A = this chain, B = another copy of it.
Amino acid sequence: MGKKIGKQTVCLSKGVPILSTASTVGPKEAEGPLGAYFDKKVEDALFGQETWEQAESFFVQENMALAVEKAGLKMKDMDYILCGDLLNQCTGSCFGIKNFDIPYFGLFGACSTMGEAMSLGAMLIDGGFAGHVLTGASSHFCAAEKQFRFPLPLGTQRPPTSTWTVTGDGAAVLAGKGEGPKIVEITTGKIVDMGVTDANNMGAAMAPAAAALLLAHFEDTGRMPQDYDVIATGDLGTIGRELVVELLSKEGYEMDSRFTDCGIEIFDAEKQDTHAGGSGCACSAVTFCGYFYPKLKAGEIGRMLFIPTGALMSPTSSQQGQPIPGIAHGLVIEGCGKGAAR
C-alpha cells in the first residue's frame, strides 16, 4: 500500500524498479551532445513511413518493443501500456501500440506525459494491480510544427524564446520485482496558469508549474535541492530554467548546477540552432531513458528528481486568446549500488 506524505506526494510501499529503458531518436537528436547515449538513431525522420504522423507512430512501435526486449521480456508479459503524445487525439501512441494486444491507458499530459506514465505505472504496480507496466512518450518535430505552428515548407522564422520539438520515443519497463533504479516517491502536479499567452515561449509558460512542483516536493518531503544528485525538468529550456531558479530563490531554495533541464542537455543550442532548447514529450522521455537511466543503473547518480513538464494548450485555445497553463510531474528515482545508499 502506498502512503501519502504531505499534500501532493506519495511514497511507494517499496521502490518500483525500472527494469529497462529504450530511446529512439531522429537525426538532429543523434547529432546533439547526447547522440552517443541513444539506443537507436534514425537517419531519416520519416522512418520509412508516408507521413510524419505515421513516422511518429513507428517510433513508438519500434522503441516500445525495444524496451521490452531489453528487459529480457516479451510484449505479452506486460499487464498495461501507459503512454501518450502531442498529436491530435494522441494518435501517435494509439497507432504505435495498436498491434501489441495489451490493455492500454491513454494519457495526455502534454510534454509531461512521461512523468504521468511513470507515476501511474509505478502506483499500479505498487498497488498490486500489475507485474509489468510499459510506459512511454513520443513527439516528432515535423508533425508538431505542422499541427501547432506552421507547415515546415513555409520556412517561418523562429523567435529566440522558441524551443525545438524532439523527434523520438522514450520507453521504460516498470516491474513489481527485479533489479534496476527504483521509483520511490511521486509528487503529482497541479495545473498552474500564470496567464502566459506566447506559444513561442513555452519555457516561460511551464516554469511556474515546475517551480510549484519543486516547492510542493520540498515541503512534502522536508528535503532541500542539495539532497539530490540531479534534478532534471522536462523541457523548460534555458529561459524556463532561469525562471525556475529565480522563483525558487524567492522561496528560499537555492538551485545550483545539479539542476538541469532535459531540453538544455539534448541539443547544442548554438551549433544546432535550437534557440532556447529542446521540447516535446520525447524531450524528457529520451533524455531520461537514454542518458540518465544508465547513470542511475551504474550508481553514478544516487538520487534523482525527474520532473517532466507540460504546456496544456492547443492551437484552438491559443487562437481564442486563452493562456497556456502548465503542469509538471515529479518522481524520485534512486540509483543502483552504493549510490543508492545515501
Interface on A for B, CB 8 Å cutoff? 1-4, 8, 10, 13, 50-51, 53-54, 79-80, 84, 86-91, 94-95, 97-110, 116, 119-120, 123-124, 126-131, 147, 188-191, 193, 312-317, 320, 322, 325, 327
Q: How many copies does the complex hold?
A: 2
In the complex, which residues of chain B have a beta carbon less than 8 angstroms from the beta carbon of A109? Answer: 105-106
**A320:B4 contact, CB within 8 angstroms:** no
State whether A80 touches B188 (Cβ < 8 A). yes
Say whether, besides A128-B3, A129-B2, A314-B91, A106 and B97 are in contact (CB < 8 Å). Answer: no
Q: List 24 interface pairs A-B (beta carbons < 8 Å), by A numbering.
A: A1-B1, A1-B127, A2-B127, A3-B128, A4-B79, A88-B314, A88-B315, A88-B316, A89-B317, A90-B312, A91-B314, A99-B193, A103-B189, A104-B188, A104-B190, A105-B119, A105-B120, A106-B110, A106-B116, A106-B312, A106-B327, A108-B108, A123-B127, A126-B129
List chain B residues, Cβ under 8 A from A312.
Answer: 89-91, 94, 98, 106
CA distance A108 to B107 in the complex (A): 5
The answer to whether B128 touches A1, judged by C-beta atoms less than 8 angstroms apart, is yes
| Candidate in A80, A101, A105, A320 with the most chain B CB atoms within 10 angstroms | A105
What are the residues of chain B within 8 A of A131 when measuring CB–CB?
4
List B contacts of A101 (CB < 8 A).
190
Instruction: A254 to B94: give the CA distance in the assembly, Å.
Output: 31
